[in-house]
Each structure stands twice: as structure tokens, then as C-alpha cells.
Amino acid sequence: MKKKILYIVVFFVVLILALFIVLKNGIVISSIQFDFLKLEQLYIKLDKKLIVRAKNITINETQNSEISSQTH
């Protein structure tokens, strides 16, 4: 049982350390799209603070207005 807990703790420590290293170097995503949101040229970096930049942000409001019009 103790080995299992130790493995879980080590896994999360390694995961958090890897995430920290990746964010220190910075992440660039050319385009990411969800049903309600589209981001272009997304840049995420951890310096002294978390830096999040996007060249173009598009919010799709058609679904939200359809949902709100159906409820009223």
C-alpha cells in the first residue's frame, strides 16, 4: 500500500515538474478551436508571471443566443 502511494506522489511530482519546465520554455499553438471559442497564435509562457497572448480571439455567440432564446 505504501509503495502505491509513493508511486502516485512521484508521478504527480514528475508531472508538475514537467509542466513547469514546458511553461518556462513557452508553448505556441497556431490555432485551437472549441464549439464556442477560437484562438489563433496562442502563446503561453511562465516567466515571473503567467503570460498568455493570442493574436485573434473569436467567441461564437450563436449557440448562446439560441440557448437563451429557447429558455425564454
| Per-residue pLDDT at 56 exceeds 60 | yes
> Across the strands, what pairs with 31?
40
What does the pLDDT look like over 1-46, one tens digit per residue?
889 999 999 999 999 999 999 999 999 999 999 888 999 999 999 9
Q: What gap in Å lies between CA 61 and CA 68, rounded to an integer?
A: 11
CA angle 41, 44, 48 (to 5 degrees): 145
Q: What is the DSSP letter of 26?
A: -
